[in-house]
Amino acid sequence: MSSNTATADPRDEILEHLPSLRAFAVSLTRNSSSADDLVQDTIIKAWKNFGSYKQGTNLRAWLFTILRNTFYSARRKSKREVADVDGVMANSLSEKPAHDGRLQMADFEKAFAKLNDEQREALVLVGASGMTYEEAAETCGVATGTMKSRVNRARAKLIELMDIDQDEALEMTDAPTAAVVASSMMPRKTAI
Amino acid sequence: MARKDKSLLEQQIDENLRRVFQKETEKEIPDRFTQLLNQLKEQEAQHEQ
């Protein structure tokens, strides 16, 4: 029970990074229970492989890398890409009303869901989690320049998608068409 | 129709992303994670004895 370790265990810092690890996991899995399973696997792997972490380097980037690799290798195994997306991210996206000139959250949500994994990930790491391009590049194992262009392309794509959505929304008066488009854009479980 | 200014859109995108991410990080950490970390620590302590 009582452990009196005089020196701080650097692994204790894992705890500090759990909130952002979870947020990153949610953005990848788009499902809160899968996200927590992913975080759990990440913690175990990080703990067991802590020897390969270089002290003094960026622990968050190191942890994010483990989480990311765990996610992609599991998905490669299952080969089912968006099977159980429950719209966690989408739900939290749509909660705030756009009354003050902000982007319409619904448009944003739809467009964001249409980005590919690479683009979504780049935007989450750099745009949302506040990582530098260098950190994000390290996390994804790519060159900094590659990360910069991914972020730029993702933003451009998002803008393009939202513009299209806005224009289409005005023209699309045909309800069945709109429904088909909407459901193809947001694969998620139906919930009332 | 009326296309919004691009850089403004980029700012808004980042703002939205940050808001969503922030919201996720503010969620309480489930006990299972702190328990897991404690378990890992204890296992190791026992192993080292």
Q: Please state the pTM of the whole predicted model.
A: 0.72
In the prediction, which pLDDT does B31 show? 94
Residue A6 lies in a domain: no
Find out whether A127 and B17 touch, Cβ atoms under 8 Å: yes
CB spacing of B12 vs A3 below 8 angstroms: no
Q: Packing angle between helix A144-171 and helix A133-140, nearest 10 degrees?
A: 100
Contact A103 B16 (CB under 8 A): yes
Q: Has residue A151 been placed in a domain? A: yes
Does the pLDDT value for residue A108 go beyond 90?
no
Mean pLDDT score of chain A: 77
Question: What does the pLDDT average to over A57-77?
Answer: 91
Dist. CA A178–CA A38, nearest whole Å: 35
pLDDT at A138: 92
Q: Count of domains in chain A?
A: 1
In a domain, A156, yes or no: yes
Contact A115, A89 (CB under 8 A): no
Residue A14 has pLDDT above 70, yes or no: yes
Higher-scoring residue by pLDDT: A179, B41:
B41
Q: Is A123 on the interface with B (CB under 8 A)?
A: yes
Q: Tell whether A190 is covered by a domain.
A: no
The reply to whether A123 falls in a domain is yes
Lowest mean pLDDT among A6-10, A41-45, A142-146, A164-168: A164-168
Give the percent of chain B with pLDDT over 70: 86
Q: Does A3 sit within 8 Å of B15, measured CB to CB?
A: no
Q: Mean pLDDT across the stretch B18-33?
A: 90
How far away is chain A from the Cα of B15, in angstroms, using its nearest Cα?
8
The answer on pLDDT for A169 being more than 90 is no
Q: What is the DSSP string of A116-144?
A: -HHHHHHIIIIIIS---HHHHHHHHTS-H
Residue A117 banded pLDDT, cuts 50, 70, 90: confident
In a domain, A4, yes or no: no
Q: What is the longest distance spanned by two Cα atoms in chain A?
A: 69
On chain A, the residues whose CB falls within 8 A of the CB of B17 are 123-124, 127-128
Question: What CATH number is associated with residue A70?
Answer: 1.20.140.160
pLDDT at B8 over 60: yes
Residues in chain A with CB shorter than 8 Å from the CB of B19 are 96
Q: Which residues of A touch B14 (CB under 8 A)?
A: 127-128
Nearest by CB to A19, from B29, B36, B41: name it: B29
User: In which domain, by residue range, is A125 found?
Assistant: 13-185
In a domain, A59, yes or no: yes
Domain assignment present for A29: yes
Pick the more confident residue, A22 or A179: A22
Q: Which of A3, A39, A108 sits opposite B45 (nearest CB)?
A: A3
Predicted confidence band of residue A96 (pLDDT cuts 50, 70, 90): very low
Q: Do B21 and A129 touch (CB under 8 A)?
A: yes
CB B26 within 8 A of CB A137: no
